[in-house]
Structure 1
């Protein structure tokens, strides 16, 4: 799985590195970014985080359903994408490999929800994990605020709650 957060900070299971997309990135981080095909933008344009575990610290698995929930993220736009164990998008035909700020809709308190799993839950925006095996999620925050770029701890990271495993929702 991708490791562009290697040597970075862990915030609620989301791992990011301040050096990604900057001149401060060392050779190991640059090689990791190159090998995983992240094509990192300059950190003033985007910041990146990877999540490999749910809120209980268990690895993310293709056969499980996860509720992803959060609030306003500190940038102009954001997306969350599933990547299979081989660092590529899951090889399926579901046409649902990510969710973004435009899809989730905000409730009365600027909260949103989405789901990641092998089958669609028609009541929520969906990230398909079918054919992903043990996968990870990548959060990209585009045009992040200066505060978010400087202090990852200030970011209200999305929760990733395991709802069920197997066929049932």
Structure 2
């Protein structure tokens, strides 16, 4: 009897402290929208986000885009599920969801931009070459590649952040994302 009580107490404390820790470190799992390697949290910009998102925002102090302002997608893995590594080169191809303007940056896990050039901290929709069908053709890595090149530096894992400003995704009746750029590992050093 006492053993069961102790086991129940340990389980209850583990779940309670575990969810609290999660809420304070990355409480954005709830209401996530995933397309391939990309994930977005459209409800995080709402006036009343869920309690986990609120705790995450309070702890990090980051400013989020409002629901009508835009949507931010992040990718920490390539399409095969391998973590993005700064020692590797990646090719991004495909359509970007409709938006008035978009940016693509590479950041370390803490959110610090790892672009090698301060003059070119990221790619944006106004200054990229596109395929004939309007799709994105970009290379992310240390070595120059075909198409648009986002040169990065550093070692270890990183994330790609695609921010859609004034996005038509999730506006009005449109609540689906048909496609996002694919992320394919080309080579590693």
Q: TM-score, normalised by structure 2?
A: 0.74
2:181 aligned with 1:158, yes or no? yes
Change (3 A) 1:146 1:135: closer
Deviations 1:93-126 (A, max 9, x none): 46433111112222321122111112333x4322
| 8 Å CA contact retained: 1:116, 1:128 | yes
List runs of 5+ in structure 2 lacking aligned partners. Answer: 1-24
CA distance in 2, matches of 1:64, 1:91: 14
Task: Please tell me whether Structure 1 or Structure 2 has the larger radius of gyration of its CA atoms.
Answer: 2
| 8 Å CA contact retained: 2:105, 2:162 | yes
Greater RCO (Cα-Cα under 8 Å, separation 6 or more): 1
Match of 1:117 in 2: 141
Mapping for residues 1-169 of structure 1, pairs under 5 Å = 3=26, 5-7=28-30, 8-33=32-57, 35-36=59-60, 38-90=62-114, 92-93=116-117, 95-121=119-145, 123-131=146-154, 133-145=156-168, 147=170, 153-166=176-189
List runs of 5+ in structure 1 lacking aligned partners. Answer: none
| 8 Å CA contact retained: 1:98, 1:126 | no
CA distance in 1, matches of 2:132, 2:117: 34
Q: How many residues are aligned here?
A: 164
The DSSP-based 3-state class of the residue aligned with 1:49 is strand
What do you get for the CA RMSD once the two structures are aligned? 2.6
